[in-house]
Structure 1
Amino acid sequence: MNIIVSGGGTGGHIYPALALIHEIQKHHPDASFLYIGARNGLEQKLVIRDNIPFTSLAITGFKRKLSLENVKTVINFIRAQAKAKRLIHKFNPDVVIGTGGYVCGPVLYAAAKSGVPTVIHEQNSVPGLTNKFLSKYVDKIAVSMKEAAAYFPQEKTVVTGNPRASEILNGDRKKAYDATGLVPGKKTVLIFGGSRGARPINDAVLALLGKIKDKAYQILYVTGDVHYDKVIEEAKRIGLAPNVIIKPFLHNMADVLAVTDLVVSRAGATTIAELTALGLPSILIPSPYVTNNHQEKNARALEKSGAALVITEQELSGERLLSEIGRILTDEERLTAMKTAARKVGIPDAAERLYQVVQTVMNS
């Protein structure tokens, strides 16, 4: 079995792709994969680290306003599509799967026009431009959140959840404590802003550090590699509290989430999938700098279910964040209700569901 997978730009597109590959490998250990990503994209590093064959295309995304850059993008798309067609012809895939990001455009379009079975997966509540474009050509569309189904042809669309959710379920608590220095048995708040970090979240956390040392809970604060040096320098100036641990990045997220009671984070699709699969309450601070403001829409959907509290960047401050953390952690009834609501939204067997969609397309 030969399978081409494409997805890139952010971890929100890449991690679901890798999770699906791992699920397919469970069922078909001898399957061969080729991952097609964007040149110089984050996906290259993550895919190669996973020992999956990787090749790249030179491609850029469309601007939403008319510009000369879009003319260049069209030219790049045509060239990338031609290269993708050659790769498809050479690799002879049984199916081509896209998980979002502009690199999927030429790959899935070339596959569909070549008569190869195709599947796309949309992680967010509001689809991106690439998946909207591809929905006209592909055989099946899988979505993580039911809100996204309304944007696609009903007869093609299936709600599967996000396959990343399936990989987060078996965290090792001991490994988490050993790797981080967290104290077992103490309520834990995990604060992070995504793989690159988020400056507004960092600023809010720094503003509350001086008031945290006497709290009964502990904080694991992940700054992102880019921000770590400045944050740790400022934290030392303020005074490092014994119940605050600061890290630049986490490679063992499944382990850490297993010991977490409350998460403060952005509202990316992968984060939402992880939180709901585990039934974790959250305070979500959606990024306003994303297409169609989809993070706030993701977050509001979770808030509506009772699983999360949303604070916009405009509303965010150290004082507000500290107050909301305290309100949730000291109210056991609310904490339990949020956990229950998160679990109801989650689809922990999402990887298996998406695998079944892929199987259906290949066998049709």
Structure 2
Amino acid sequence: MSKYKIIMTGGGTAGHVTPNLALVPALKELDFEIKYIGSKDGMEKDIIKKEGIPYYGISSGKLRRYFDIKNFTDPFKVAKGVAQALRILGKEKPDIIFSKGGFVTVPVVIAASIKKIPVIAHESDMTPGLANKLASPFCDKLCVTFRESLKHVKNNKGILTGSPIRREILKGSKILGKEACGFKDDKDIILAMGGSLGAKVINDGIRENLQELLKDNNIIHICGKGNLDKNLEGINGYKQFEYVREELPNLMQAADYIISRAGANSIFEFLALRKPTLLIPLSRNQSRGDQILNANSFKKEGFALAVEEEELAQTGLVKNVLMLKNSKQNLIDSMNKSNMNDGVKEIIRVITSTIESKRK
């Protein structure tokens, strides 16, 4: 029989799932029984099931900051999700809930509060997302990635832990990464990625400047589901993928440079790998501006270059790539001096200490 039982929750994007997965090996080493609650049809379902973790799907509304007719019906979905979560928690009787954000977590956290089950949440970005804002009154502790985030967390619930880094990310092989792409020369390798759903500005920038970029570089392009361009298949030095999981550590290790959005989970992995990176955060038109804050923080620390979409449209991708190459050593030197560590150990400490304090 396991020492503890934990139910993890989080969904909507890979950014709300991968930090959970980063904790799984350490939890198993401490003899935790792990189960997961996600949305019925969310992308997290397949990811979690591939890990062999029992999965419960519940109803969940989408949290929107804009007017939509569904805003009037989604509260009923959330209420249904709370009822479903209550049944699951009543059956499983977990010692603790770990919530990573995303709309599916709200009914789970509310149900846990009703059941008097402790909840630890984690916020990756500089400012709490809408799900964590709604859930935080029901949480015991909210772990944060950035020191600046603590001022946004009320009632002394905030704990600075950093971002959990997946162990496998640190164990990639440059040789296997190059083999997966069919690269046989010694050109610099640029890895361009836009998150699990892709990023149009990055995809368009790479493809519109592909001929120029390929003169001195090989390109690994993770373009997001449904965004492959069949007309570019077979071009020497260019390899595109929709979404990568198993091969990602090898591709990241093979990369000399990275072009990416500025989601907190990803940028802390780039920092851990000491990869010079050009960050192109989601614009304020598409988001609440959290990625811009993340990118500016890393730029200020000297860990990455950052360019907003509007500026990129004026300066062009090629010019920014040249600036990245010229800044390579300075960026690596700054990253080597960083004291931002992997957050797994600290988050596990918060989880276990919360369980023990509740048992006393």
Q: Tell me the distance in 2 between the aligned counterparts of 1:25 and 1:290.
A: 38
C-alpha contact (below 8 Å) 1:176/1:259 kept by paired residues: yes
Aligned to 1:259: 254
Counterparts in 2 of 1:254-333, with a 5 A limit?
254-288=249-283, 290-317=286-313, 320-329=316-325, 331=326
The answer on 1:342 being equivalent to 2:335 is yes
Q: Tell me the distance in 1 between the aligned counterparts of 2:303 and 2:242.
A: 27
Question: Structure 2 counterpart of 1:6, which letter?
Answer: T
Task: State the TM-score, normalizing by the size of structure 1.
Answer: 0.90
Question: Structure 1 counterpart of 2:218, which letter?
Answer: Q
Q: Deviations over 1:287-310 (max 9, x none)?
A: 225541211111111111112222
Instruction: State the 1:64 CA deviation.
Output: 2.2
C-alpha contact (below 8 Å) 2:16/2:101 kept by paired residues: yes
Q: Tell me the distance in 2 between the aligned counterparts of 1:280 and 1:165.
A: 16
C-alpha contact (below 8 Å) 1:165/1:347 kept by paired residues: no
C-alpha contact (below 8 Å) 1:122/1:143 kept by paired residues: yes
Question: Structure 2 counterpart of 1:279, which letter?
Answer: R
Question: Structure 2 counterpart of 1:15, which letter?
Answer: T
Which structure has the higher relative contact order (CA within 8 Å, separation 6+)?
Answer: 1
Instruction: State the 1:53 CA deviation.
Output: 0.4
Question: Structure 1 counterpart of 2:244, which letter?
Answer: L
Question: Structure 1 counterpart of 2:223, which letter?
Answer: T
C-alpha contact (below 8 Å) 2:193/2:222 kept by paired residues: yes
C-alpha contact (below 8 Å) 1:205/1:318 kept by paired residues: no
C-alpha contact (below 8 Å) 1:39/1:56 kept by paired residues: yes
C-alpha contact (below 8 Å) 2:305/2:324 kept by paired residues: no
C-alpha contact (below 8 Å) 1:162/1:350 kept by paired residues: yes
Moved over 6 A (4+): none
Aligned to 2:85: 84
Question: Structure 2 counterpart of 1:205, which letter?
Answer: I
Aligned to 2:123: 122
Question: Structure 1 counterpart of 2:311, which letter?
Answer: E
Question: Structure 1 counterpart of 2:116, which letter?
Answer: G
Q: Tell me the distance in 2 between the aligned counterparts of 1:185 and 1:154.
A: 54
Instruction: State the 1:268 CA deviation.
Output: 1.3
Residues 157 and 180 from structure 1, CA distance in 2 versus in 1: closer, same or farther, beyond 3 angstroms?
same
- 1:70 is paired with a residue whose SS is helix
Instruction: State the 1:67 CA deviation.
Output: 5.5
- 1:155 is paired with a residue whose SS is coil
C-alpha contact (below 8 Å) 1:208/1:318 kept by paired residues: no
Q: Tell me the distance in 1 between the aligned counterparts of 2:135 and 2:59.
A: 19
Instruction: State the 1:111 CA deviation.
Output: 0.7
Q: Tell me the distance in 2 between the aligned counterparts of 1:325 and 1:245.
A: 18
Q: Tell me the distance in 2 between the aligned counterparts of 1:64 and 1:243.
A: 42
Q: Tell me the distance in 1 between the aligned counterparts of 2:166 and 2:51.
A: 18
Percent identity of paired positions between Structure 1 and Structure 2: 28
- 1:163 is paired with a residue whose SS is coil
C-alpha contact (below 8 Å) 1:165/1:277 kept by paired residues: no
Q: Tell me the distance in 1 between the aligned counterparts of 2:250 and 2:61.
A: 35
Aligned to 1:246: 240
- 1:204 is paired with a residue whose SS is helix
Q: Deviations over 1:198-232 (max 9, x none)?
A: 222111112212223432x322222223110xx24
- 1:149 is paired with a residue whose SS is helix
C-alpha contact (below 8 Å) 1:276/1:346 kept by paired residues: no
C-alpha contact (below 8 Å) 1:208/1:319 kept by paired residues: no
Paired residue total: 352
Question: Structure 2 counterpart of 1:64, which letter?
Answer: R
Q: Deviations over 1:32-55 (max 9, x none)?
A: 222000121011010011111001
Task: State the TM-score, normalizing by the size of structure 2.
Answer: 0.91
C-alpha contact (below 8 Å) 1:195/1:224 kept by paired residues: yes
Pick aligned residue for 1:22 from 19, 22, 25: 25
Q: Tell me the distance in 2 between the aligned counterparts of 1:97 and 1:335.
A: 37
- Select between 120-129 and 143-152 the one with higher mean Cα deviation: 143-152
Aligned to 1:363: 356
Aligned to 2:61: 60
C-alpha contact (below 8 Å) 1:101/1:130 kept by paired residues: yes
- Select between 353-362 and 188-197 the one with higher mean Cα deviation: 188-197
| Structure 1: gaps of 5 or more residues | none
**Aligned-residue CA RMSD (Å):** 2.2
Aligned to 2:50: 49
| Structure 2: gaps of 5 or more residues | none
Instruction: State the 1:166 CA deviation.
Output: 4.4
Q: Deviations over 1:250-286 (max 9, x none)?
A: 2221122112221001111221121111122111111
Q: Tell me the distance in 2 between the aligned counterparts of 1:319 and 1:204.
A: 11
Q: Tell me the distance in 1 between the aligned counterparts of 2:33 and 2:194.
A: 34
Instruction: State the 1:343 CA deviation.
Output: 4.6
Question: Structure 1 counterpart of 2:239, which letter?
Answer: I
Instruction: State the 1:127 CA deviation.
Output: 1.0
Instruction: State the 1:164 CA deviation.
Output: 3.0
C-alpha contact (below 8 Å) 2:192/2:219 kept by paired residues: yes
The answer on 1:6 being equivalent to 2:9 is yes
